[in-house]
Structure formats: structure tokens, C-alpha cells
Structure 1
Amino acid sequence: MRTVLAACALTVALTACTVTTSAPQAGAEAAETTAPVPAQAEADALQQAIAGDWRDPANVARDRYRHPAQTLAFFGLEPGQTVVEITPGGGWYAEILAPLLRDNGHYVAAVVDPMAMEEGGGRDYQQRSKTRLEEKFAAAPAQFDQAQVVAYDPAAPVFGAPGSADVVVTFRNVHNWRSNGQAEGMFRGFFDVLKPGGVLGVVEHRAEGDVADDDKSGYVGQQQVIAMAEAAGFTLDATSEANANPKDTKDHPNGVWTLPPSNNHDDADDAKYQAIGESDRMTLRFVKP
């Protein structure tokens, strides 16, 4: 198992990567390595997608917190791959991934099937979310006409044909699956859809340590996420601090949603939470043996 203990410091073209060491997360095996560094052409393509003028300005403003260049390079994501993004929400990463893979590769947005939900038990919400994403794709065919939307049942998730994907990525979703009792099945689904040697990339709000199954803070222990992936058959390949935020004290009255971008706090406290910024996040790269 290899562990990257600090974020790659990339040039604009993402051609350089410097690794430094720091104390590992509790229980993590310490080793020094380098994250995948894309070739110049792949790096340029990624940077062009991030700089695309089709991106929502509000999404671009969050790049300083979400670090898409460093994160996607760390996951080894590049043109030519089949990439499945799990529950892409409003399409923050879809705005980068779908254009990047449009002419060379395949982008799949895996969304919850509204009809798999009970009426009044989230069906309307999931339908609105799916419709908004489909409308976003339809409104900009030059970027999204090749994007595929796959609906899955959270109780028995299937994200595509077995062994059909090179990369599966998910951003800030694990806490929801844990609270709904779906995490085990989701990680099995990731394992099934990936090719041998395929990569699972996970970004998640990071707790100080393990949290209870019914924890409502939105944070999850890093070792808990690693254990879920390993139980499904994955091997932890590396970790990155690209999305770390040491200012996040993780003790907010409304959990992670106290912080930007949700900003679920009193107006009087706005300056305090803006100074913290978005949450401290783990960034993990797993491999299917």
C-alpha cells in the first residue's frame, strides 16, 4: 500500500508533482511515493476543461476549495477513459469531466433512480435532481451531448456492465450512504463496474476519528471509509491532502452544512465561517486488484 501524505503541487499544466511527508492518519500505513503525473497532452486537456467558459461562475469560484486539477490528476483521470461519477448532484464535476471525455473517452453520471424510491420518501427530490442534470446536459450539447445518465437503485446499485469502467469517482457522498445503510452495497457496486486495475477515487468530509452510524454531522472517519472500500475488495493505493483544511474544527452546530457552500448558520457568524472555508476532506485512491 502506498500513501501520499501531502497534496501534489502542480504547475498550471500539471506537469510537476512534489511530495512532502507529514503524520499519517491514525491506523494508516506510512510510506512515501508520488501521485500519478499526467503526460503533457493529458495535462493540457484537463486544464482546458477546468478553464472552460461553459462552467458556472459559482462553480469556478469554488475551485480554491475543491482543487479539481490536483484531485483529478491524483486519481489518474485522463482522456480515453470510461469514468463513472456517482451522484453528481448539480453537475459541479460533470462540467469538467464530460467535456474532457466527450471526444475521447466516456463520461457516465450515475444518479438515483427516482422510481426506486418510495412515493413521498425522496422520489420527488431524486426526480428533480435527475431532471435538472439532464436539462443541464441538453442545454449545452457542445459539451454534454455524449454524456450518459444511468439511474441506479440504491438498494441494489448497478452502475454499468461488469468490468466496463476505468475510473469511478465520488465526491462528498459517503456520509449519506452510511446514514441510509447503503454504503456496503455502493462500494460493492463500484468494485463490480471497474476493470481489474481500475481506480476508485473518493473525496469525503473528514472527521477527527470514527463516528457512529447514526452521526448527523456529515463527517466520516478516514479509516472508516478505507475499511468500507477494503471490505468490498479494494486496495488503498494512496492518500492525498489536496483537499485538507486545517482551519476546520469539525465541531459546528449544524455539522458540515454550517460551512460554505451551505452556510447554515446565523448571519452574525458569517465572517467566522467564511474565514474557515469549506470542510476538511480526505482524498483517497483505491485500486481494484
Structure 2
Amino acid sequence: MTALKQLVSAVTLALAATCVNADAIHDAVKSEHRSADAKARDEYRHPQQTLRFFGIEPGMKVVEVWPGGGWYTDILAPLLNDNGELVAAHFYVDETTNDYFKNALKKFNERVASHPPYADLTVTAFHPTKALDMTEAGTADAVLTFRNVHNWYMRHGDEGLSNAFGAFFKVLKPGGVLGVVEHEMPADGSDEHMKKSGYMKRDVVIAAAEAAGFTLADSSDVNANPRDDADHPKGVWTLPPSLAMKDQDRATYMAIGESNRMTLKFIKPEA
């Protein structure tokens, strides 16, 4: 085979693989197992574009950190069921845990027991000070977390961030991907506001990841929302879907939509 034919063959195979992966993500997002309410959030959360940006493929082992009610899990589970592996590192519960986290974990486990796409899902626990070993070290192709970094910072400060990103680094293979989507505060926002608003500064998130050993590979504006200035009476929860102000100024917040979000792709270096 000539060099030209070899090049054409390699490009053809790469394009075919890309199409297969894109189709798999498309099919998972459009799955009949996802509720209409969940799909209504797609216009704000852009799951197809986000997962492609992170390079998620059907044969990977993926750890989803703090999946909450399973919004992204409903997409990742069918995507990974046949050839991959999905680990849901959910809330860690002990005698000090508040009812919100206890109830959320209980509902998620009930869903695991009854929801067909979750049949092969592995549930573990993560907590930035109490439970750091989400799965075996060095075995994950990707770690993903959506709109969670603020929780670790608000509750545990810099220690929470350091421990969290260190734990993510530990479970990834060399060359593995850490995908982070987080509510973004403007760079000139106050640190005090960051501690209670649910918004994080991009440079703080990047610094925490880099301190753990990660390299920032790329960033995307796919989940950016320029209508959101990150300055609301009840923080990010003022906006949909929470709408913490209830009917007060509801039309205003609905017009803004969900929060402005950074989408960051980190790599664990090969060496």
C-alpha cells in the first residue's frame, strides 16, 4: 500500500469512528428513557456538544462526580452500557449529613434499582474531606462533574478544592480527561460573593486543577450565557431551574435562562 493510500485509509477510519461516536451521543441524548422535563434543559446545557468537547466515547470508563438526580447520568449510562463503564460517585452519607443529601442519594439508588439504563451502573461515594477514593486509582478514562465545584468551595474552602481535584487526578489514567462545567463569576467579582453565590471564578478553578497536576487542554463557550451577570438576590439559585425567588421577577429570570457556565477540559499528563 502506498503512503497516500495509507493516509487516506487512516483518515477514513478516523472519520468513521468520529461518526459512530457522534451518533452514539446523539442517540443517548434523544433516548426515550429521558423525561420531557430533562430534555427541556438541553437548550441550556448542550449535552451533545459538551460530551463531544470532552471527547467522551462509548468504550470509556467514566466517573461522574455528584450526579445529583441523574440528569447527565441518563445520557451517560446508555452511552457507556455496551462497551464502557460508568461510575456514579454520589453523595457520601454519615450521621452528620443533612436531609437534602440523604434524600437525593436515596432517590438516586431507587432509580438505579428500577431504571433499565442504570442496570450496569456502579454507585460509589465522593466527599472532599471524607470519601476521596471514587474508584480504583489510575483506571478512569474520564472524570466529569457538572455544576458542583462551588459546593466543595462553599463548604470546605480551598481544602475542598485541593482534595477534590487531587482525587480526580488519582483515579484517572495518564492522558485521561477531567471535564468541568461550572457556574462562572466574572473575573472582577468579589471572593466573598463567590463563597455564597454558587458562582466560581474561572482562574480559581483552573488554579486548583493545575495545583493537582492537571494541564488545561481547552475551554469552550458552549455553555456560556452572556445574559447572566452572576449578581442575583439568591445567587445562582435565583435563575431557572431553581427559581428561588418563586414568582417575584420570574419573567426577568426566565428571560435570562440558566446560568453562565465555564466548560473546561483538563488532561492528566502522560508522564
TM-score (normalizing by structure 2): 0.88
* More off after superposition, 205-214 vs 103-112: 205-214
Residue number in structure 2 paired with 1:230: 210
Q: How does 1:188-207 map to 2 (within 5 A)?
A: 188-207=166-185
Residue number in structure 2 paired with 1:66: 45
**Does 1:82 find its partner at 2:61?**
yes
TM-score (normalizing by structure 1): 0.83
Q: Which secondary structure state, in structure 1, belongs to the residue aligned with residue 191 of structure 2?
A: coil
Residue number in structure 1 paired with 2:10: none
Residue number in structure 2 paired with 1:251: 231
Of 139, 145, 154, 1:170 maps to: 145
Q: How does 1:117-196 map to 2 (within 5 A)?
A: 119=95, 121-141=96-116, 143-156=117-130, 157-181=132-156, 182-196=160-174
Give the letter for the 1:252 counterpart.
Answer: H
Q: Which secondary structure state, in structure 2, belongs to the residue aligned with residue 114 of structure 1?
A: coil
Give the letter for the 1:56 counterpart.
Answer: S
Give the letter for the 2:242 counterpart.
Answer: S
Deviation (angstroms), 1:266: 4.8
**Does 1:242 find its partner at 2:216?**
no
Determine what percentage of the aligned residue pairs are the same residue.
51
Give the distance between the partners of 2:206 and 2:248, measured in 1 at CA: 38
Q: Which secondary structure state, in structure 1, belongs to the residue aligned with residue 255 of structure 2?
A: helix
Deviation (angstroms), 1:90: 0.2
Give the letter for the 1:203 counterpart.
Answer: V
Give the distance between the partners of 2:79 and 2:182, measured in 1 at CA: 23
Give the distance between the partners of 2:98 and 2:233, measured in 1 at CA: 29
Show CA shifts across 1:138-190 (max 9, x none).
2122x110011012343141111110100000001111101122111010000
Deviation (angstroms), 1:122: 2.3
Q: Using a 3 Å threshold, how does the CA distance of structure 1 residues 148 and 211 change in structure 2: closer, same or farther?
A: farther
Give the distance between the partners of 1:146 and 1:283, measured in 2 at CA: 28
**Does 1:48 find its partner at 2:27?**
yes
Give the distance between the partners of 1:176 and 1:221, measured in 2 at CA: 13
Show CA shifts across 1:60-118 (max 9, x none).
00000000000000000010000000000000000000111011100010012212xxx
Q: Which runs of 5+ in 2 are unaligned?
A: 1-15
Count of aligned pairs = 249
Give the distance between the partners of 1:192 and 1:268, measured in 2 at CA: 45
Give the distance between the partners of 2:261 and 2:241, measured in 1 at CA: 14
Give the distance between the partners of 1:243 and 1:38, measured in 2 at CA: 26
Q: Which secondary structure state, in structure 2, belongs to the residue aligned with residue 180 of structure 1?
A: helix
Deviation (angstroms), 1:236: 0.2
Indicate conservation of the 8 Å contact 1:257/1:263, yes or no: yes
CA RMSD of aligned residues (A): 1.7
Residue number in structure 2 paired with 1:5: none
Q: Using a 3 Å threshold, how does the CA distance of structure 1 residues 49 and 113 change in structure 2: closer, same or farther?
A: same
Give the letter for the 2:135 counterpart.
Answer: G
Give the distance between the partners of 1:235 and 1:38, measured in 2 at CA: 26
Give the distance between the partners of 2:208 and 2:218, measured in 1 at CA: 15
Deviation (angstroms), 1:288: 0.1
Consecutive aligned runs of 4 or more in structure 1 exceeding 3 Å deviation: none
Give the distance between the partners of 1:266 and 1:75, measured in 2 at CA: 35
Indicate conservation of the 8 Å contact 2:90/2:124, yes or no: yes
Give the letter for the 1:177 counterpart.
Answer: W
